Structures are given as structure tokens and as C-alpha cells.
Amino acid sequence: MKNIFLFIGLLLGTLVYSQENLTYQQPPQEILELAEAPLAPSIRMDDDGENLIFLYRSNFTSIEALSETEMRLGGLRINPVTNINSRQNYYNKVKIRVGRDSNNEDIVGMPENGRFANFSWSPNQQKMAFTNTVSTGVELWVLDITTKSAKKITQANLNANTGNPYTWFKDNNSLLIKVISKERKPLIDTKSAVPTGPTISVSEAGKKAQNRTYQDLLKNKSDEHNFEQLTLSELYKVTLDGNISLWKESDMYSRLNLSPDGNYILVTTIEKPFSYLVTYRRFPSKTNIYSSQGTLVNNILNIPLIEDLPKGFMAVRKGKRNLSWRADKAATLFWCEALDEGNPANNVEYRDEVFELNAPFTGEKKSLIKTIDRFNGIEWGNEKTAIATDIWRDNRNTKSYLFNPSNSAVKPVVISDRNYQDRYNDPGSFVTTRNEFGKYTMNISGNNVYLIGDGYSKKGQFPFIDQMNLKTLKTKRLYQSELTDKAENISSVFDMKKGEILVRIESKNEYPNYYIRNIKKGNKLTALTQFENPFKSIQNVHKEVIKYKREDGLDLSGVLYLPTNYEEGKKYPMIVWAYPREYKDKSSAGQSTSNSNSFTYPRYNSPIFWVTRGYVVLNSASFPIVGEGDEEPNDSFIKQLVANGKAAIDAVDALGYIDRNKVAVGGHSYGAFMTANLLSHSNLFAAGIARSGAYNRTLTPFGFQAEERNYWEAPEIYYNMSPFMHANTMKTPLLLIHGEADNNSGTYPLQSERYFNALKGLGAPVRLVMLPKESHGYSAKESVLHLLWEQDQWLEKHVKNRQ
């Protein structure tokens, strides 16, 4: 009985812990230099590879920026002053290159101290629109490629609270924009507002709402009011010379989607009633079709509130889903409907059926194809050629169907039926090209289509391009990378007739750069970018992919780094960093997708910094959890987890690099959960670092990660997998780190707080660091540098200098 009361006390957080008052700290200089190294720009390129936009951003935001006003409503995080996502990642500088062989240039007319986002090409790719966030709101700007100049199109009155606030019209001269509604009422200060009554939720007998543990949900009528006001917009048509006219009156607009010919537009609005159980994406919605002039054509879809789906990852709602435009036709809608009532427990021959409806959208729907498993998408080709895919998560299967969208009497042909986790046999993705409507459809030449593959294999990664004959279904390899000292990735195809493809090439110490490779001219390479390595202090670090076996014979791997001061024969402390993944077959679980030639990039969330501090690092260590046949992976989670950890230490120890008594383990999110379990159920590690994890699975009772069973179906699984339940066995030093504003499903900050209380109450060596304002990932410079300092201090004390 005493233990029960202790458990309840821990759960309620009644144990008090002492505080350590610290300002933000910075890590040692060798780590600081790497963390603050400037980032290379990302690029936006037109389809011909002729014109390039270079987008620059800072490594971090600031704690001041994270401290701006934020409202968390229905799964959204909104800055109510600027009316854009309060966690928006911004670019702060833009450059342009007109012509492949030209120089990068500044853009005339760009605003100073800009915060740029939502970049989008015009239909003819001669212009690019983007938003600029100022202190009072969001402006729309347009960049002219030819003149290399930008100008402001609207005032700071756009509403970006539900995503991109604009879309291009087909004429390349005007855009449809969401503007803050004139009908918006004052927001309620929920902290100081006097309640008018209690918040009451109800459950009807027999209606099961087995939802995951979402965060940032609406909680009361004040939240409902604020959500509605912040999502209300009016739609306006604005031309590039600034003329603006009302297109549609105030409503809660979420989605704007023009037909390929530009004559129609799908407009989706959020409807009531709202929910306190799910995010706004599962609120009721209505989708209407309008003409490009704003005239209502038809109401095409009404979706009710979705709170009570059947159990399982493959459960879906009844009615039309995945409503969109056919990319290969002027104005034809397509969608799918469940044939199993959306319930994966129902046994049926086909799970979904796909339909289409032509303009003016008043006729009878036409059936296109039925899929054996859950419909996943279509690559459109032409009137007689399309490829549909389905997916079934329970057995990790996916199939591809070649079908004739003009004749449903022609039986579809299954051209691929495989385990989607089997990366070695992935046939690749179809090459697409822009059609007359500016939409992307399969590149079809006669009877041939083309595929780009990652090219993972036992020997390494060698990307390829295949040609597939649609009549014989036979493939012919047109190109495969032969680089053995560098890593190559195929980004896209410019022109299959000319043989021009876009590739990214990198090595351990060469920063990734883009090239045009001509596979019809001796695989000739032409450089597009010349980004320099900003991490020179670790450019010569030893890096290799090691492969080893688990005690049951399962193949494992990891990326091994040796310290920058490595001396042969000397033994070093080690950090193992990992993330568990679930599989339904051992063959896929044993595959390696790590490339020893990929660039050594010390992101804040990786342990690579510590090669500068005298540590061996095993990054991306394989931690597969396999459950074949009727067995689920989590049925033996702990046993497999410990076996993975032991195999990793044994493998590196056998190479003679490490002192196996000085090994740390760490991970983020589910990797943090892994870390806590390893320390609870083994004596393999000297210390652990667990960031933003969940440690009590009874607080996520309707599934977590890949676990579909709820707590009441598998209570022993939930109990055995919860480090919180085994806090009394944990004696290894553990550093817990969590963002105070974590928004990830299941990883409430409460999880780390309660776990710390339990460990402290039982006398375990543990430190809890709560990062103010931070979400599931960390972004403020102050937070990230302090995080690196905390980890370094912990490793120095409990691993390197462990007594």
C-alpha cells in the first residue's frame, strides 16, 4: 500500500526538488566555433536549372523572439500581433543568379532586416512571391527574375495563421490572398478573463474516441473565440501593380487550390463545432468550387468533426478523402472513398476506391481504380497512363498499380509489391516534368517512364536512374553513380532527352554542392554552387560505417567517428547516439542506409561536437526492434534494446578504440525514451542524456510511436516499457532536458518533470534542465549553446572523468 501512495505522489508531482540558479552558459570554445559556423544557403531553382534563388538564414533564433506573444490554439501556435506561426523559420537574406554561368547578385529593392518565408514560383517561373514579417504583420512581396528586383505588393495585413496566405492565379500577374478579416473581434485574455461557467466535455456510450495525446488543444470557450477570430480572413485578388479587390467575404479559410487550367479553385473553410480532443485539421470543414472570378460553382465536400475514428493506424473516416485536381487534365477532381467503412479490422477485398469528376462537377462520379490496401496517391501521366500506390502500415507493405484512367475495364497491373522498409530493393520514384498546365506529371517518352533511386545496397549507396517500359515492365539502367570516395544524390531531372540531371555531391570533408551531370555526354559534371566547408576543425576526422551483429545474428551498423586528437593504441570514452525503429522482418531491420562519405555535419542535435573533446562517437547506431509474424515489435522491446546497446559497445571495443567502462548513451524524443530504458535495465553505460522524451506510457494510453494497441489491451507492455515504472532500478547518472513549450504528441514537459521527481525521490543521480520557451526541437541561440554546455559538463563529469 505504501508503494501505491508513493506512486500517486510521484504522479501528482508532490515531491519537491531543489533548484540551481544559472544564467545561460556557453560550451567550450572548440564546440562553440562549430555551433556558430555560418550556414550555406538553401536554393530554389527553376525547372530548367537556369535561374537560382539563394536563401540565407541564421543558425538560430533568439530567446527574445521566442518570448514574443504566442497563443496555442487547436494545434496552431500563433503570434496574434503578426498573424503568422509563432515558430516560423525565417530567411534573412536572398540572392539571385540569372543564368547558370552567371554570378550571384543582390536583389534590388529587398527590405532591410527582413524575415522572409513562404516562397513560391509563379506559374511561368518568371517571378517568385514571398512574405516578409514586420513588427505589425505579414506583407506580400514579389521578386521579378528578369529585372532582379523585388517590390511590396500589400500592406502588413495578410493572415498566415493557417499556413501560406496566398496562391498565384494562372495569369502570372495576380494572386489570391488571405487578409485579416474586418469582422475580427477583440481577443480574450484567457489569463485574466473571469470565467462564465465550467468547461464540460461529454462521452456517448459506445462512441470510442481513441486519440493520441495531442497538445495545444482548445480548452474552453475563450480559446474557441480566439481561434475563430485569428483564423477569420477575407479573400482578395491583388495584381502585381497593387490593385486589390474583394474576392470572397469573411470566413475561416484554410486551403486554396487552383485547377490546372486556372478556371476553378477549391476553397476549404473550417467549420463548427470545434473540439477539445483533436487539432483543427480534424475540425469540421467545407470545400466549395468557385470560378476564378469568385462565383460559386458547387459544394463538393462536407467533412464532419473527426473525433471517433476506428482503432489503428490505417483507420480513416467515411466519405471522400484526398480530394484534389488531376495534374494531367484541365479541371478534373479525384478522390478516394473507403470500402471497409474506414475500419482496418473489417476484412474486404479492396480497402479504397478512387473516383473522378469532370467540370462543371454536376455529373456522376466515375470509378478509376480500387486498391487492395489504403490508397496512398497517384502519379498522373496522360489520359491512358497513371500509377496509383497503396500502403498498409501493419505489415509495412506498399503496392504500385499501373492503370488506365480512361478505361476502368482494363485491369490494373501491380508493378511493385514490397516492404516499404526494404531500402535495398526500392525501385525509386518516378521522374516528373511540367506539362502545359505547369503541373508535374510523369515523364513519358513513347512507352517508357523513368525512375530515380537512392541506390542503397550492402556495398554502399549508389543512386541510379532507370528506364521502365510500360508494356513489358522491364527496366534498363541508364545511369548509376560510381563514386566510391564521395556521396552522390540525384535531386531531379532537368531534361531526359538531353541527359541533364541535378546532383548533389559531398564527401566527409567537402561541403555538399550542386552539379549538373550529363549522362549522355560521358557523365560530364558542371558545378552550380561552390559552398565552402565551415567546419574545418573536424574536416579530417576519421569517419567510417561499421557493421556488426547482434547476439541473435541480426545485422547492425553505425557511423563511427574517432577523436580529433586520436592516438593509436589509446582508449577513449565513447558516446552512443541512437533512435529505435520498429520492423516486421529481420531482413529490412538489418539494412544500413548510412554513407561513410556523407559530409560530417555537426548539427546541434547530434553528438559529433564531442570528437573535439576526446570522445569516440557512434552516431546513428542501429537500434531495430523486430516483431515478425503475429509478434509485435514491442513484445520484446526491452530485451532487444539491451541487445542492441551491448552489440554496439562490443563492436567498437573489439576495434580497440574505447574504454568500455566509459560509454554514454543518448537520444532525443523516442531516443530519450530508449536511453532511460537502457539505464534502467542494464549496466552497460556510465551515463545517459535524454532530451524531450516520454517516460510513462500510461500517460499515452491510446498508442505511442508504432504501438497500435491501447493500454487496456496490453497493460503489461505499457508497464514494462515505461522507465517511470522502473525508476527504483535506475542508478546511472541521467541528464534530462526538455523544452517547456514542447508541442509533440505524447512528450509533454510533464513527462520529464514527473520522471525526475521519481528518480530524485528514490535517490538516483539525475539532473533536469527545462529550456524556457522551447518546443520539441530547440531553436534559440541561448538555449542551444546552454544545451551543449550541459551535455559537455555531464559527459566530462560522469564519463570521461568517471572514477
558-585 CB burial, b ≥16 within 10 A, e <16: bbbbbbbeeeeeeebbbbbbbbbbbbbb
Instruction: Decide: 488 and 481 in contact? Cβ < 8 Å.
Output: yes
Instruction: Decide: 795 and 801 in contact? Cβ < 8 Å.
Output: no
Q: For residue 213, give the nearest of 751, 789, 766 by alpha carbon.
A: 751
* Catalytically annotated residue among 120, 542, 650, 776: 776
Q: Which cell is 781 given?
A: 541561440
Q: Is the dihedral of CA 576, 580, 586, 588 positive or negative?
A: negative
Distance CA 723, CA 702 (A): 18
Looking at the DSSP bridge assignments, the partners of residue 98 are 51
Instruction: Decide: 327 and 439 in contact? Cβ < 8 Å.
Output: yes
Distance CA 650, CA 621 (A): 13
Which amino acid is located at 424 in the chain? Y
User: β-pairing, 285-291 with 296-303?
Assistant: antiparallel
The Cα-based distances of 191 to 153, 406, 409 in angstroms read 37, 59, 62
Q: For residue 494, give the nearest of 46, 43, 126, 47 by alpha carbon.
A: 47
Q: For residue 252, give the nearest of 278, 281, 295, 277 by alpha carbon.
A: 281
Which amino acid is located at 543 in the chain? K
Instruction: Decide: 185 and 229 in contact? Cβ < 8 Å.
Output: yes
715-730 CB burial, b ≥16 within 10 A, e <16: eebbebbbbbbbbeeb
* Catalytically annotated residue among 275, 669, 745, 779: 669
54: CB partners within 8 A, 6+ apart: 41, 42, 43, 94, 95, 96, 97, 104
* Catalytically annotated residue among 742, 745, 786, 792: 742
Distance CA 586, CA 591 (A): 9
Q: Which cell is 28 given?
A: 567550450
Q: Is 742 a catalytic residue?
A: yes
Q: Is 681 a catalytic residue?
A: no
Q: Is 669 a catalytic residue?
A: yes
Q: Which residues are catalytic?
A: 669, 742, 776
